[in-house]
A and B are shown apart, each in its own frame.
Chain A
């Protein structure tokens, strides 16, 4: 029985890694469309969402099938349970990437509006968190997962700076209000993507240690228990 399960888990793992690549690429492309003002990239991002949605359902069905047929225990059970949750977070990340692409398209209609430089920094931080969270899952690396969780405060701080700058721009010139609101939303979506990377990292800690570390506010989660 175990060999059958191992084969099926290997196949699922391989498909899931493809989904990681697809979602990561969608986020990076959406960020480029926003920060480099390249509206032509937006439709690519949005069109890929259907594939992510289809994979989302396929992976969930596969997990349910394996849970029902093989009734795995211990690390196999934790892995499958983590896949169900990570899969869900990935699908939401892809949706947020599409939202960012939509906002980038809207901002492009305002060529005179400068996207704040600080948003680039924040985007770099958030995309790095996504990459590291997905790597931590693939490698089963608890330390990497904890590093992602501790990075979130910095992305939150950058988000607050971007919002403050956007408020300032809106106060300077009412013409900026419409593009600044789009930019504001894009920044919020990026911040949310970073939160989902944290969620994935928390699931990785469960995968590795068997400890549920969600909702541990403050610094305890980033320390080795």
Chain B
């Protein structure tokens, strides 16, 4: 990354803070290239706290009293067989379940001081803080540039050159800049699957989120693109808290710092990834990661 390019975290953060203040709506965004865009992580600081979180779709209970902490600036893998609740949990973290009328949740779910389950929580602001990347790359039917610029245009008031900076920074961070820099105005849908997925990651980080949720981000990709995304996760962990849902055990073991195993809506075991994959405490975890079921 070029040292002259400003990350969106500071700009997005400062801009959003000014937006909440009616007197400074039109305040100029000052470039802060002299400071690192992320404060060094406190050791073992917690990003997301869940306490006794239960969730239902109508009468079906999808999550049963989940309590866990997601550590800041770490990659946390959620694993478990289909239907175990891991994607539901991910969807509660950025409130995607709001669109499902029958979905409800009890318990506590906090991102820092922000109560993620409160009806008063500003969901648009939350989704800037908590980005999500899906299994199937889903670029907008727009140009590569417009895909990345979409979020910043929505959330921030930027000059043209500032927007260019953010787009370049995001594409570089997502390790796709070199492949697209000469065709930024070409349609995003013309990119390969792996490039589209990295573009979606660039689009997500362009608004300066704190947390990146990845729901099976590599399951539709070839091994080369998978490797690129995994390397990217490793690069990004210094600045973001990453939660990845994956069915690929090798991917969970390669990429994550901590792993949580879910089964039938319950958290069975959560530990550092090395312990989970070398010496799990629970027989069910052992059976699942060894491929005996699921």
Contact = CB atoms under 8 A, between A and B. Distances in A.
**B contacts with A: majority SS:** helix
Interface stretch (B36-44, B135-143, B153-161, B278-286): B278-286
Chain B interface size, under 10 / 10 to 19 / 20 to 34 / 35 or more: 10 to 19
Contacts of B291: 1-2, 5
Nearest to A76: B290
Interface of A: 1-2, 5, 71-78, 209-210
A71 B279 CA distance: 15
Contacts of A71: 250
Nearest to A70: B291
Interface centre among A73, A75, A76, A77, by most chain B C-beta atoms within 10 angstroms, is A73
B35 interface: no
Interface in B245-272: 249-250, 253
**A contacts with B: majority SS:** helix
Given A2-B290, A2-B291, A74 B279 contact: yes
B101 to A, nearest CB: 40
Interface of B: 249-250, 253, 277-280, 285-286, 289-292
Given A72-B290, A74-B280, A75-B286, 14 more contacts: A2-B291, A5-B291, A73-B249, A73-B253, A73-B290, A74-B277, A74-B279, A74-B285, A74-B286, A74-B289, A74-B290, A77-B277, A78-B279, A210-B278
A73 B249 CA distance: 9
Given A78-B279, A210-B278, A210-B279, A73 B289 contact: yes
20 contacts: A1-B291, A2-B291, A72-B290, A73-B249, A73-B253, A73-B277, A73-B278, A73-B289, A74-B278, A74-B280, A74-B289, A75-B286, A75-B290, A76-B290, A77-B277, A78-B278, A78-B279, A209-B279, A210-B278, A210-B279
